[in-house]
Every structure is written in C-alpha cells, then in structure tokens.
Amino acid sequence: MSRGKVLIAQGGGPTAVINQSLVGAVLKSRDFPEVEAVYGAFHGVSGIINEDFINLTGETAENLENVAKTPCSALGSTRDKPDEKYCRDIFKVLQAHAIGTFFYIGGNDSSDTLRILAIEAAKADYPLRCIHIPKTIDNDLTVNDHTPGYPSAARFVASAFSGVNLDNRALKGVYVGVVMGRHAGFLTAASALARKYDDDGPHLIYLPERHFSMDTFIGDVKAANDKYGRCVIAVSEGIHDESGEPIVTKLAKEVEKDAHGNVQLSGTGALADLLCDAIRDSTGLKRVRGDTFGYLQRSFLGCVSDVDQREARAVGVAAAGYAHDGNTEGTVTIHRTASGDSYAAEYQLSKLEDVAGKTKVMADDMIDANGHDVTQAFVDYLKPLLGANMPEAFRLEAERVEKILG
Amino acid sequence: MSRGKVLIAQGGGPTAVINQSLVGAVLKSRDFPEVEAVYGAFHGVSGIINEDFINLTGETAENLENVAKTPCSALGSTRDKPDEKYCRDIFKVLQAHAIGTFFYIGGNDSSDTLRILAIEAAKADYPLRCIHIPKTIDNDLTVNDHTPGYPSAARFVASAFSGVNLDNRALKGVYVGVVMGRHAGFLTAASALARKYDDDGPHLIYLPERHFSMDTFIGDVKAANDKYGRCVIAVSEGIHDESGEPIVTKLAKEVEKDAHGNVQLSGTGALADLLCDAIRDSTGLKRVRGDTFGYLQRSFLGCVSDVDQREARAVGVAAAGYAHDGNTEGTVTIHRTASGDSYAAEYQLSKLEDVAGKTKVMADDMIDANGHDVTQAFVDYLKPLLGANMPEAFRLEAERVEKILG
C-alpha cells in the first residue's frame, strides 16, 4: 500500500490565517519526493466520508499564495465530531484512495476528532500519519503558548475597541461590546490592547474565567461612568453566573445547541441587548448602546497580524516535515522562546492526547484581582503577537481657551 | 469687531475621516494672514454654549497630521439641534470671543443647525461666515455626488461581507448582516462590492428605499438557499413596512427616540435577531446567524479609503478658502467629474438651504427591479470611492478527485 498520498482538511470555525497553514502544508508536502499527491477534503471530515476531494498536487504556487492571504477555510469546514462508526467510514475512504498522511487543521474539537481517528487507525492496523495543525481564535489549546488565528482576531478586537472608544469619547454614553469566547477570555481580553491614554476604554472587561454577577456589574458601570463620564465595556459571550449558567440563557427563550451540545452564543445580539437593558433599568443612564462583534472578528477581510500569518504558515510547514520524518501522530505546538520586542517562537510536535478535547483558559496572573480587567502580564503576552503597523489613535494637545462669559 | 477668529466644530455621528476635514480647515485657515486664531469647540454646538474651546492656533502640524489619520471626531460631537433660543446663546458666545468664521463639519442635522445659525446671525446683523463641511457615512446629503466618510464606511461594509461570505461558504447556513442607514441604503448597498465570484454573497440586499415585506423576504431567502445551498443577506437597519413603520419596532418593546425624534436603530441587535427568528420559524433552516455591524462600521481603526481621506481633507481646505474669499454662508459639495478608473471630483460652494435638513436616497437606477439587489450602475458608482489596495478573496482552482467508493 502506498504511503505517499497526503490528505488535508480544515475543521471548526474559520480564522484569518487558516489558509496560510493549508498552503504551508501543501507546498512543503509537494517538496518531498515520496509524496505522490496532495488532496484536500471539502468541509473537513464530512468531505472524507463523501469522497469530496480536490487534487492540490498541481495547484499553482501563485494561486496558493493568493489563497493563503484569503481569510476563512478555503476547503470549507465542518462541525462534525466523528464517533467510531464515522471513523470506520473515514478509514474505508482513506484506504480506497491510498491516503498515508492526514493533516487536520483545527481547534479542540478537530484535534479530538484526529485523536479518535488515530486510535481507530491503530486498531485497524492502518498505517496513517495523523498530524494536527492548530488554529483557533479562542486561543484555548493546551500546551501551545498561543494558537494561529488568535493574534489576527485579537488585532481585530483591539482595533474595534480603539475605534469604539474614540466614538464613545465623541458621543458619550455607555457602550457594551460582546466578543467571542465560550470558556476562554483571551479574545475579549485583547480589548485591553486598545488603550493608549489613561482614560481610554475599555474601562471594564468581563471574562468567562470569573463568575458574572449582575449586581457587581451594575456597580462597576456606575463607578466607571462617574469617573470617566462615559463607559466602554468588553464582555465575553461566555460569561456565566456562579452556577455556570450562561448569562445569555437568562434572556433567550429558546436555546439552540450545536452537535457538540454547546449552547449557541454567537450569531445573536441577545447578550448585548440584555446587558444594555439592565444598565438602563438600573442606572437611569440614557445613551446605552451594545454591539456584538459576531463573525466579523474571525473573517474580516483586511485585518491580519503579520506575526500570525508567518506562524500559521510555519505550523503548516512543520506538520509536513513531521509527517515526512515518519511521525504517526501528534499536534504541532507553538512555544515562545523570547518575549517583548525580541519576541520569538519555536514549534514542536506534541502528543495529540495532551491537546485533544482539552481547553486552556486565561492564567490567574493575566486577570486583575478586581475581576473586571486584565493585568500588565496579559498585555505583555499579547502585544508582540498583534504584528506590525498596528494603527494608533492620537488626540489634540492644544490648551483650553479661557472662558469669557463663564 | 475682529473678523479674524475662526471656530470649528464637529457634529453628528463620527466617521473614519472626519478629522481630515478638521485638520484641512485648521491648517489652511492658519495660512491666511487675516486669521488671528483658530479655535475648536468641544462637542459641537454644545461646546459653544459652554465656551468649551481649545486653541488650535499653535497645535503642531505633526500632531494634527496624526489626528487627521485617527477616526472619530477629535473635538467630540453632539446630537443637539439648536432652536432659536439656543442660537441666541451661541451668538453671545461667538460675539464675546470675536469669532468671525464658523466651520461646522457634519451631516443633514448639522447643516440644518448651521442654516438656522446663519439666519439668526443675519437677523442679529452679526457678520458671521457660516461654512458647512460635509460628512456622513449615510451618504444622504443632497447636491453632493457622495459625502466624506461614506467611502471608508462602505469599504468596511464590503470587507466585512467579503469575510462573512467566505465564512458562510466554509460553514453553510443563512447569515443576516444589519448595516447602518435609516432612510438611505447606500451603506447597505456597499455590501454588493464584496462579490467577486458568481455565487458570492450577499445573495440578497434589502434597502430602506423599498418597502419590506416579511412574506417576500422569506420567499427570497428560500429561493436563494435552494440555489446556493447557503444565503448571505445584507439588511439596512432602516427597513420598514408599507406604512413606514420600521421592522425593528415590531419587535422592540420599548422604542427609544433621540432629540431629533428619530427612533433608535443602532446599538441593538434586535433587528438581526428578529429576522433570524422569522427565517428559522418559516423555513425550518437550522444554522441561521445574525450580526449587527453597529459602531464598528464608522469607527474601526485601520479600515479607510485613501480616496475618502483625500476628499475629506480637500473639503476642509476648500471651506477655509471659501471663508477667506468672503462667503458668508454655504456648504462645500462634492461633484464627480470623471468616472471609472479615471475617477475625479471637484468641489463647489453650494447654498446651505439646498442641503440642510434634506435627505438624499438611492436613485431608482441603482436598485434592481427585483427589490433585493443593486444594479451595475451602483457598483460603478461606488467602486472608485473604495480606494486603493482593497483586499481580495481567492479560491482554490484545482480539479475534483474522482470518487472511488461512490
């Protein structure tokens, strides 16, 4: 049986740089003489089941480079999470097409899919090299310092909050911006990188790593509004009360769940609207506005971190190398080797079981003791990842004119 | 009395380039020897009443250039719409500070404020040069071919829909994106510029220039979803039924109104959620998601059209020139002199009364007869305004692999 065919697929939510990983793995694989062909599966594992393959062996490098710069999974994605039966169906197809290496680009769920697949392959004595390539805007993969996709989404969130802070300063009021992140607050925390001047928002940041209390929240908003004459708030979509119940389900009449049993949090403005109503009702403040950043934060065309682009490319290239070296399973992980201005990272092959299905959340030293802010440690962690040419806000500096009429 | 002091203020909703106009007017005014000082009023006309002035005469050109590139009103803004009493209070302050020229950067409401102010000034025999500098992301000022601020916001909307189209193609379903625009659909229509490939979304575009019928909408969504296996929809926040009632008020329990008597449409996800619920209930489709672009589309840091930047600067510079020439009232208007790749525009001083308080909506030839799309005429109109280096999406081009198992 040929071990020379490579198959690659993309799973889970798209990112701004997921195609960099695709193109890195495709081009590097094509460099190895033992690679007979490189296939792409459409819509993740579901495309394997359906034999929905594209032959990327002859795709021009020029077009691949264009695709690499295009956000969102070029091969399409899926939310399917294979069980054993599903995996047996996958094997049949892999065997039929003589696939020897399978790269799956994805997050927690996708790496768990790959873990199951690797186990099933071993059980079936099928010599499959299963290499997971990390991506997730949630930044919640264990072992990794951070994950490809997160820096670009973080850049979007920081840029968005820089803008809404300016907007809110021009027309004062209370502003609530709801950011993606079910269990991990990394993306919401990125809003802190929007601050430049002392009184810049976000003035309050709520993360799913801490229990959310409506009473405390209202008190925080009042205090911030008293201090600044306005208030910009960043809230994770995943905030929940002490019992673990998401705050949004307290409002939503119907709770939609996905195939993984997760409550649907994105694609609705309900949480922002609930929080705005609560602020209006409890404080009497009039101009209270809420936005839900939604899908824009993971797919917006034209907001990308160059660091993220390079790293997403590198993990794809590294995966091809690990497969070439004969590794039968693993996940490419990112490890920071230098911080601050001299930021650098290296890549390793880690065990699938150390990442698959696990969720990393923000470390305690990244969250302020007040429960509504991040620490300087988090700012230092994220800053080098945002990339070059981060736009910056400036203010007029001139002196006030003395009043005449008083 | 000195005619040499210039006052400048910014009113209404911020834009990405409103500070270009501010800086253009300030720097050009400082070039004229008769200009004794250049003041800025904080928060529009309310800053005049409060004598809340900053002296921009000595503000460094370097910092002004940095501020010019910063989105959102650097002087702050206001929603105040002065009545006669308010205007008399403004005069007292202008007289006390010997202001001879007042530049007000704003949209319909701000130009109407300036119109009232000019009439009151004439009544009071106060020699005030009142020059309006246009800005609005809504693009709804009469006389003007388009308004500064609109091209950058349109670029944001087009970039956002390019991204969500890719996202929706990767994970199929129905997506509703709600865009700002109460009476004019120009900004929502900009979503059409996201299309590159034949099957790209938005597949449906709903504008406030046409009556919205829920039955027709549901039928359109079903048809588009049948055709493409997915559906991306752009909807203006201002869509309304035949009686003129906004669709969002059919949901909202409480309708918030601003000082101008306008129903609050932005800063809530209600419309997107209502439409998603209606689609789910009527079609049985499962993955239905809604985003409301909210304040991001007018303030996002790092998404700007260079054409818009230049033109916003130019109208500020032109206003200073018109005041220098002795004009006592008027509004700087933009007129297209060449289309397509050779796009060019020139500036004129028009009468305040021709713009003030009036609303321009999309011309019939810009709207498709099917009622849910724009025409090529609109695409041709907007394309040159979006500016250089508009990011572009690319797709994989390789052939499908033949099925083996079938």
pLDDT, one tens digit per residue, over B268-285 is: 788 998 899 899 999 999
Catalytic positions of A are: 138
Q: Do A70 and B394 make contact, defined as CB atoms within 8 angstroms? A: yes
Check whether residue B272 and residue B134 sit in a common domain: no
Is residue B398 included in any domain, yes or no?
A: no
Phi/psi for B85 (5° steps) reads -60, -45
Residues written for chain A: 406
User: How far apart are the CA of A161 and the nearest CA of chain B, in angstroms?
Assistant: 8
Which residues of B form the catalytic set?
138
Same domain assignment for residues A234 and A379: yes
Antiparallel, parallel or unpaired: β B53-55 and B37-41: antiparallel
Q: Which residues of B touch A13 (CB under 8 A)?
A: 171
Q: B394: nearest CA in chain A?
A: A67
- Give dist(CA A54, CA A52) in Å, integer: 7
What is the reported pLDDT for B266?
62
Q: List the single residue in B69, B169, B300 with the smallest CB-CB distance to A163.
A: B300
Contact between chains at A51 and B406 (C-beta distance less than 8 A): yes
- Distance of alpha carbon A57 from alpha carbon B338, whole angstroms: 46
- Give the other-Cβ count within 10 Å of B379's Cβ: 15
Residues B203-237: pLDDT tens digits? 999 999 999 999 999 999 999 999 999 999 999 99
C-alpha span between B285 and B282 (Å, rounded): 8
Check CB contact of B292 with chain A, cutoff 8 Å. yes
* CA distances, B128 to each of A184, B7, B86 (Å): 57, 11, 16
- B80 and B165 housed in the same domain: no
Residue B193 resides in a domain = yes
Lowest mean pLDDT among A87-91, A301-305, B317-321, B402-406: A87-91
> Region A109-134: what's the mean pLDDT?
89
Has residue B321 been placed in a domain? yes
The closest alpha carbon to A353, from A329, A335, A326, belongs to A329
Distance in angstroms (rounded) separating the CA atoms of residues A133 and A12? 12
Half-sphere exposure of A344 (CA within 13 A, CB side): 4
pLDDT computed for residue A327 by the predictor: 94
- Does residue A86 surpass a pLDDT of 70? yes
Calculate the average pLDDT of chain B.
93
Q: How many CB pairs under 8 A join A and B?
A: 274
Closest C-alpha to B356, from B334, B333, B336 = B333
Say whether both A117 and A34 belong to one domain.
yes
Percent of chain B with pLDDT over 90: 81
**What is the strand order of the sheet B288-292 is part of?**
A204-206, A231-236, A174-179, A288-292, B288-292, B174-179, B231-236, B204-206
Query: Are B403 and A41 a contacting pair, CB within 8 Å?
Result: no
Q: What is the DSSP letter of B211?
A: -
Q: Are residues A133 and A240 in the same domain?
A: no
B335 min Cα distance to partner chain A (Å): 29
User: Among partner residues B40, B267, B298, which is closest to A396 by beta-carbon distance?
Assistant: B40
Do A141 and A108 form a contact (C-beta atoms < 8 A)? yes
Q: Which residues contact A235 (CB under 8 A, 6 or more apart)?
A: A176, A177, A178, A179, A188, A205, A206, A271, A272, A275
CB contact under 8 A, A10 and B170: yes
Banded model confidence at residue A2, pLDDT cuts 50, 70, 90: very low
Q: Which of A156, A103, A141 is nearest to A315 (CA)?
A: A103
Same domain, B266 and B310: no
CA dist., res. B328 & res. A151, Å (int): 52
Q: Is A306 part of the contact surface with chain B (CB cutoff 8 Å)? A: no
Closest CB from A59, A164, A396 relative to B397:
A59
Containing domain of residue B245, as a range?
153-300+363-385
CA A160 to each of CA A163, A207, B293, B300: distance values in angstroms, whole numbers, following the listed order = 5, 18, 11, 5
How does DSSP classify residue A107?
S
What's the rounded Cα separation, in Å, for the pair B240 and B290? 18
Beta carbons of A293 and B290 less than 8 Å apart? no
Residue B396 near residue A40 (C-beta atoms within 8 A):
yes
Determine the distance in angstroms separating the CA of B30 from the nearest CA of chain A, rounded to an integer: 15
Answer with the one of B337, B354, B371 that is the final residue of a domain: B354
Residue B260: the pLDDT is 52
Amino acid identity at A383: K
What pLDDT, in 10s, does the model give residues B117-149? 888 888 888 889 999 999 999 999 999 999 999
CATH of the domain at B227: 3.40.50.460
For residue A103, give both structure tokens: 């790269």
Asked whether residue B131 falls in the same domain as residue B257, the answer is no
Region A163-185: mean pLDDT is: 96
Contact predicate B138/B153, CB 8 Å: no
CA distance B266 to chain A (A): 8
Q: Residue A263 has what pLDDT?
A: 59
B403 and A CB contact within 8 Å:
yes
Most distant CA atoms of chain B, gap in Å: 92
Q: Say whether residue A143 is in contact with chain B using an 8 A CB cutoff.
A: no
Contact A404 B92 (CB under 8 A): no
Q: How much is the pLDDT for A265? A: 59
- Which distant-in-sequence residues (6+ apart) come within 8 Å of B283 by Cβ? B174, B218, B221, B222, B225
Residue B119 has what pLDDT?
A: 87
Give the span between the Cα atoms of A293 and A300, in whole angstroms.
Answer: 11
Nearest chain A residue to B294, by CA: A291
Note whether B262 contacts A: Cβ–Cβ < 8 A: no
- Provide the CA A382 distance to its chain's centre, in angstroms: 13
Which residues fall within 8 angstroms of residue B369, CB to CB, at 6 or more apart?
none
How many CB atoms within 10 Å of residue B45?
26
Q: Exposed/middle/buried for B400, CB within 10 Å: 0-12, 13-18, 19+?
A: exposed
Q: Distance between CA atoms of B340 and A399, rounded to whole angstroms?
A: 45
- pLDDT tens for each residue of A4-22: 899 999 999 999 999 999 9
One DSSP character per residue, A140-152 reads --SS-SS-TTHHH
Q: Is the pLDDT of residue B192 over 50?
A: yes
In a domain, A36, yes or no: yes
Question: Percent of chain A beyond pLDDT 90?
Answer: 82
Q: Looking at CA atoms only, how far is residue A373 from chain B in angstroms?
A: 22
Q: Is B41 helix (H, G, I), strand (E, B) or coil?
A: strand
Closest chain B residue to the Cα of A176, Cα to Cα:
B267
Which string of b and e fits A374-385 if b means at least 16 CB within 10 Å?
bbeebeebbbbb
What burial letters (b/e) apply to A47-58, b meaning 16+ CB within 10 Å? bbbebbbbebbe
From the centroid of its chain, how far is CA B347?
19
The answer to whether residue A72 neighbours chain B at the CB level (below 8 Å) is yes
From chain A, the residues in CB contact with B110 under 8 A are none
pTM: 0.95
Classify residue A227: in a domain, yes or no.
yes
DSSP B364: G
- Tell me how many domains chain A contains: 2
Which chain A residues touch B57 with a CB distance below 8 Å? 398
Asked whether residue A391 is assigned to any structural domain, the reply reads no
- pLDDT tops 90 at residue A321: yes
Q: Are residues A308 and A297 in the same domain?
A: no
**Residue B72 in contact with partner chain A when CB distance is under 8 A:** yes
Lowest mean pLDDT among A157-161, B163-167, B264-268: B264-268
Among A266, A212, A278, A301, residue whose Cα is nearest residue B390: A301
In-domain check, residue A339: yes
Residue range B324-343, pLDDT digits in tens: 999 999 999 999 999 999 99
pLDDT given at position B3: 63
B207 and B268, same domain (yes or no): yes
Does pLDDT of B82 surpass 90? no
Q: Which two tokens stand for residue B202?
A: 């938005």
Contact criterion met (CB below 8 Å) for B90 and B106: no
User: Which CATH number is A85's domain given?
Assistant: 3.40.50.450
B175 has a chain A CB within 8 A of its CB: yes
B224 and B350 co-located in one domain:
no
- pLDDT of B142 reads 97
**B239/chain A closest Cα distance in angstroms:** 18
**pLDDT tens across A23-63, in order?**
999 999 999 999 999 999 999 999 999 999 999 999 999 99
Check whether residue A76 and residue A202 sit in a common domain: no
Within-domain flag for B233: yes
pLDDT per position as a tens digit, B391-400: 999 999 999 9
Does any CB of chain B come closer than 8 Å to the CB of residue A167?
A: yes
pLDDT category, A253, cuts 50, 70, 90? very low
Separation between Cα atoms, residue B22 and residue A396, nearest integer Å: 11
Q: For position A118, what pLDDT does the model report?
A: 87
Distance CA B225, CA B206 (A): 16
> Which residues on chain A are in Cβ contact (under 8 Å) with B77?
170-171
Does residue B2 register a pLDDT over 80?
no
Neighbours of A354 (CB within 10 A): 15
Are B71 and A289 within 8 A, CB to CB?
no
Cβ atoms of B305 and B157 closer than 8 Å: no
Same domain, A163 and A257: yes
Among candidates B186, B100, B140, B191, which has minimal Cα distance to B12? Answer: B140
